[in-house]
Structure formats: C-alpha cells, structure tokens
C-alpha cells in the first residue's frame, strides 16, 4: 500500500445543480428577519451549497440588502450553532487561519488545533493560510507560533508552517528509504536534543511517499512500528505532533476519524474540534472519514453526534455529514 499523494473528492458537500444564488440570498434574508430566525432555512441553504456557492450568495446578499451576511449570522445566532453557520461562510484558507489564530490568541494555547491543521495540510494549503494570516492579522504565523509555543514542538510547527515539504513521486527512492529508516532508528534510540531536531527535520520535510517507504523499512529493520518508537523517545505535544504526521502519511482520513473519536469520547464532545473537522473536510474526504470511523470504532459518526449534540446545532452537524443515503 502506498501513501496517498492526493485525496479524491469523497466529501459530503458538492456544488448544488441549478444553483440560484439570488433566490438563496432572498431566502436567507427572510430567515434572518425578526427576533426568531428560521434556523431550518439557514441549515437547508448553507449546508447544501459548496463553499464557492456560499461566497457567491454572500456577495449577492451584500449587494441586494447592503448588509454583510457573516455579520448578520454572528449577530442573530448564538453558541455552537453560530460557530457552524459562520464557519461554513469562510473560504478554507480563511477558516484555517482564523482557527489557528484563535488557538494561539484565545484563553491559553490549543496545541491540539495547531497540530491537527499544520500536520495535515498540503504545501498549497499552508501557503494559502500564510497569505490570509498575514493579511488578516498583520503578522506572520511563524511569529505567533514562536511566541505561543516552545521547544521542539515550536520548532516543528514553524517548519510545517513554512509549507516546504517535498512533494511528488520524483522523491520516491527505495534505496534512500533504507538509509532514512536507519537514521530514524538511530535518532529514536539516542534520543538527544540533536536527534529530536533530526526527527522533526525529517518528518516535516520529506515527501509523504518517501516517508511511507521509510516507515516500511523501519518496521522491517527494527521490528517496531514507527509510532511506538516515537512514543518511546518523545513526549508531550512534540510526540503528538510527530505521531500526527505519521498517521496523516499512512491514511489522512483515518487520522481525522481518530481525531473525531477522541473529540467525542475522550474530551466529552469537544465542540470546536468536531466543528472544525466536519467543516474543513466536508468537500474533501468526510465521506471516507465516516466510513473509516464506522470500521475502526464500530460506531456511526452520525449516531454519535445525535447522542451528544442537540437542537439546530445537531441538525447542522448532521446535514454536513449527510452526503449520500448511507449512514456512517
């Protein structure tokens, strides 16, 4: 099996055929009137249009009614339902940039969010995040990372945030994979500060294809899984970040299924994580994530959401998850 270079579109949200943005804008304007919003109408429109279509609706809404749709949603809605509806209105790079900013500038630092986003995004995605972050907050993302985190965890995040990972099958070299596995093994065994620097350089720079080959050779050479080896030689947030990279190399959809399961069961339904993953993966691989969730944990993701969420918040999350008729 080979690490996936590209994720096929296995999302749950697709562009709506016969798209009528003017009609959608009118429906949203009506739904947002008065003290009691028509939340069902908001869900019906915003969870059933692609991100590109939502942006067109927002522009027409502004032109037609002289009001910013995102501002209207923020003012009229509340709690986690508001987070979902507003989150759907941001382009992917904006959504990630705001999530990263909030993870560092909110109450405390959300290392889980930093790890999840920076370990899983492609170079193009990270470069787009960097542009948005600088434009919106007038500071390079690396500066915030350096001021809000520390140690090898900080160094690895900064390296990932540079968006300079090798990409493409031209970097796939079986002979080099044997050498890479040896380097990995020695670094895990010696466990010095210099070796940790080597690990982060290796895992943050090598292509997914080359890392996949190196992990296979590592298993053959040592009889040990690379995740187990990293867990034995590293700890804390640094370990979590390196393991996240490995899991993304192996199967990115499986990584997000794992993160969702932890967010639901280990953290008592961690709303921010659930919302972030469902929105960010909805047009990429959420259907695959749902299948993976079912296969690995024996639970339906939609049923777990029903168990822990309620009301229109629950309805919005389920609508994002819906995809086809299959219930995973």
Q: What is the pLDDT of residues 29-56, one digit of tens each?
A: 999 997 789 999 999 999 999 999 999 9
Give residues with Cβ within 8 angstroms of 46, minimum separation 6: 28, 54, 85, 88, 89
Q: Which of 192-195's residues contact partners 24+ apart within 8 Å by CB, and which partners? A: 193/152, 195/233
Q: Is the pLDDT of residue 176 over 60?
A: yes
Decide if 99 contacts 117 (C-beta within 8 A).
Answer: yes
**What is the average per-residue pLDDT within 155-164?**
97
For the chain, helix (H) and strand (E) counts, in that order, are 20, 0
Q: Is the pLDDT of residue 255 over 90?
A: yes
Beta carbons within 10 angstroms of residue 27's beta carbon: 17
pLDDT tens digits for range 188-236: 999 899 999 999 999 999 999 999 999 999 999 999 999 999 999 999 9
Low-confidence winner among 117-121, 166-170, 296-300 (lowest mean pLDDT): 166-170
State the average pLDDT for the chain. 93
Decide if 108 contacts 65 (C-beta within 8 A).
Answer: no
CA pair distance 277, 244, nearest whole angstrom: 14
- Give pTM, 2 decimals: 0.93
Question: In terms of DSSP H, where are the helices of 162-285?
Answer: 174-190, 193-205, 208-222, 226-233, 236-250, 252-261, 271-281
Decide if 114 contacts 104 (C-beta within 8 A).
Answer: yes
DSSP per position, 110-158: -HHHHHHHHHH--HHHHHHHHHHHHHHHSS-HHHHHHHH--HHHHHHHH
Q: Is the pLDDT of residue 3 over 60?
A: no
**What is the average per-residue pLDDT within 55-72?**
97
Decide if 282 contacts 87 (C-beta within 8 A).
Answer: no
Which helix (DSSP H) or strand (DSSP E) does residue 297 occupy?
helix 286-297
Which band of pLDDT confidence, cut at 50, 70 and 90, is reported for residue 85? Answer: very high
Residue 209 has a pLDDT of 93
Residue 326 has a pLDDT of 56
Decide if 205 contacts 158 (C-beta within 8 A).
Answer: no
Residue 200 has a pLDDT of 94
Which band of pLDDT confidence, cut at 50, 70 and 90, is reported for residue 4? Answer: very low
Residue 34 has a pLDDT of 79
Q: Is the pLDDT of residue 72 over 70?
A: yes
CA pair distance 124, 114, nearest whole angstrom: 17
Residue 82 has a pLDDT of 98
Which band of pLDDT confidence, cut at 50, 70 and 90, is reported for residue 168? Answer: confident
Residue 325 has a pLDDT of 44
Please report, rounded to a whole number, the percentage of residues in the chain having pLDDT higher than 90. 88
Which band of pLDDT confidence, cut at 50, 70 and 90, is reported for residue 324? Answer: low
Give residues with Cβ within 8 angstroms of 69, minimum separation 6: 25, 28, 57, 58, 61, 62, 89
**What is the average per-residue pLDDT within 152-174?**
89
Tell me the domains of the chain and their CATH numbers: 21-87 (1.10.220.10), 92-161 (1.10.220.10), 169-235+246-250 (1.10.220), 252-321 (1.10.220.10)
């Amino acid at each position: 099996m080979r690490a996936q270079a590209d994720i096929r579109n296995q999302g749950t949200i697709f562009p709506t055929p016969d798209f009528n943005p003017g009609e959608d804008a009118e429906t949203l304007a009506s739904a947002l009137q008065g003290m009691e919003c028509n939340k069902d109408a908001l869900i019906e429109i915003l969870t059933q249009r692609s991100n590109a279509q939502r942006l067109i609706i927002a522009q027409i809404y502004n032109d037609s009614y002289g009001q910013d749709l995102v501002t209207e949603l923020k003012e009229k809605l509340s709690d986690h339902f508001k987070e979902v509806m507003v989150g759907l209105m941001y382009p992917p790079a904006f959504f990630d940039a705001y999530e990263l900013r909030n993870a560092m500038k909110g109450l405390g630092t959300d290392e889980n969010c930093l790890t999840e986003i920076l370990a899983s995004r492609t170079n193009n995605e990270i470069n787009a995040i960097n542009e948005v972050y600088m434009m919106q907050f007038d500071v390079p993302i690396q500066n915030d990372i350096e001021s809000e985190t520390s140690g090898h965890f900080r160094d690895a995040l900064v390296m990932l945030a540079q968006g300079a990972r090798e990409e493409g099958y031209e970097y796939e070299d079986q002979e080099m994979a044997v050498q890479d596995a040896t380097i990995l093994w020695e670094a895990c065994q010696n466990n010095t500060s210099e070796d940790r620097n080597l690990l982060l350089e290796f895992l943050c720079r090598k292509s997914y294809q080359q890392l996949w080959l190196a992990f296979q050779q590592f298993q053959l050479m040592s009889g040990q899984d690379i995740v187990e080896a990293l867990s034995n030689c590293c700890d804390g947030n640094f370990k979590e970040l390196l393991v996240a990279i490995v899991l993304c190399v192996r199967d990115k959809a499986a990584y997000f299924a794992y993160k969702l399961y932890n967010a639901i069961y280990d953290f008592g339904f961690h709303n921010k994580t659930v919302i972030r993953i469902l929105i960010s993966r909805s047009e990429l691989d959420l259907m695959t994530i749902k299948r993976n969730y079912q296969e690995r944990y024996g639970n339906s993701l939609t049923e777990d959401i029903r168990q822990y969420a309620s009301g229109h918040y629950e309805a919005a999350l389920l609508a994002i998850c819906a995809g086809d008729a299959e219930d995973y």
